[in-house]
Amino acid sequence: MMHWMTASEISQAYDAGTLSPVTVIEALLARVDALEPQYHAFIALDRAAALQAAKQAEQEFKAGRRLGPLHGVPVGIKDIIDMAGQRTSCHSKVMLEHLAVEDAPVITALRASGAILFGKLALHEFAIGGPSFDLPFPPARNPWNIAHHPGGSSSGSGTALAAGFLPLALGTDTGGSVRHPAAACGLAGLKATYDLVSRRGVYPLSMSLDHVGPMARTVQDVALLLDVMAQTSSSPEATKPATYTRDLKLGVKGLRIGFIRHFHEKDEIAHPDVTRALDEACKVFRELGAEVNDITLPSLQEFSAAQKIILMSEGWAIHAQNLRERPQDYAEMSRRKLMCGAFLSAGDYVQAMQMRGVLIDRVNHAFQNVDILLAANSLDPACRIEDVKEVVRTYTRQARVPFNLTGHPALAMMSGLSSEGLPVSLQLIGKNYDEVTVLRAGAAFEQATPWHTMHPELS
């Protein structure tokens, strides 16, 4: 079925001349028309522009002009990223009149690659709120079970991918907002090394924690999208490979993996289905030839405390004026979270930043003895979206925030199904700017397990 084709498969079919961009876009638009009213993945769908871009790509193919693997491949954009002449709503009443004057660098890079920008995707308000029902747009739903939360804040990106609306999407990640919907919706999503991908033109939440990340249904597609996104890097420390797909077929034999077991067994007690899947993942990696040993880092609580103070302080600095002048235009959930920053002092922020330095050193030290780290992602399967208490309870039960704080690259991917048939997920974390090794390990796990081949049965 065309809607489950990966970006890589679509690109290969273009190369073989067996598929056209117009056919792809028309098929996906038909699927969106049929299912979007139930799932609410989109804020804005630019049907005419997508079809026009598909026709242009088709003409270019006929002329023998191929710009690269993403030429003619549709990509969804989280509606917190600027596209010239279009509204950047941030899923908020506050931004309904905001029109972007220029493309964010990641959008410029996608256009240059020939990718088809398919539409703006839903999110949690300002990338922090939650699945709120007091906003101008409804919250996205989880395609694995429409009554459940799709994760956030890149909720529409997760929904669109899991529903078969798109093969690729952009998300942002400040405390796990690429990796949370990847967990809830059974996807692959990468928070690359801090500063590997430009954040310019992306409405900020926390300047020192924000990342822009690729999301897809397979690790190879994540790598293809990262190839384009990493072209925007201005970091003098980044050493980028010719392609992030370079080592995807090398396997993990000989790699040293440090399993951060205490995150989900001691610091927080994970749901049994999450624990079971992580133990199975260890077995898979060992069977593939990796050396897997438990490793100890500071507790989740230490990472989370520092990250939360930094996020709340920086978030308040960004939103203080609007929260003072028009608090009623924020959803209750995001208003409550953002206003916490008003009660923090400069001393709190400085102490959190000092602790951040200590925690970064501890993680860097761990990498002296291992090549990658293995950790839990969400500690629970997705809860019901209208159960506010459970949304609040489970939102912070995760092991993602440590790596926003430290900046290390972290790949989320599906690792199993819960007893209720909902996805569960793991993370693979690498050394700074060593996305190649993280993706290599992810690809090996993916090929040895069936999870990436499974899709929800949509009504």
Indicate which residue of 154, 157, 177, 334 is catalytic: 177
Residue 78 is a catalytic residue: yes
Alpha-carbon distance 190 to 438, whole Å? 10
Comparing CA positions, the residue from 66, 143, 102, 183 lying closest to residue 451 is 183
C-alpha–C-alpha distance, residues 283 and 192, integer Å: 26
Contact (Cβ atoms closer than 8 angstroms) between residue 188 and residue 219: yes
Cα(131)–Cα(142) distance, rounded to whole angstroms?
Answer: 11
CA 236/CA 311 separation, integer angstroms: 25
Give Cα separations from 334 to 184, 209, 328, 453 (angstroms): 20, 18, 11, 35
Bridge partners, 117 (sequence order): 75
- Amino acid code (one letter) for 169: A
Q: Which amino acid, 192?
A: A
On whether the CB atoms of residues 44 and 177 are closer than 8 A, the answer is: no
Which is the catalytic residue, given 11, 132, 153, 378? 153
- The size of the chain, in residues, is 459
**Active-site residue (options: 78, 93, 120, 308):** 78
120 catalytically annotated: no
Q: Is 234 a catalytic site residue?
A: no
Prior bond of 8 cis (ω within 30°): no
Which active-site residues does the annotation give?
78, 153, 177
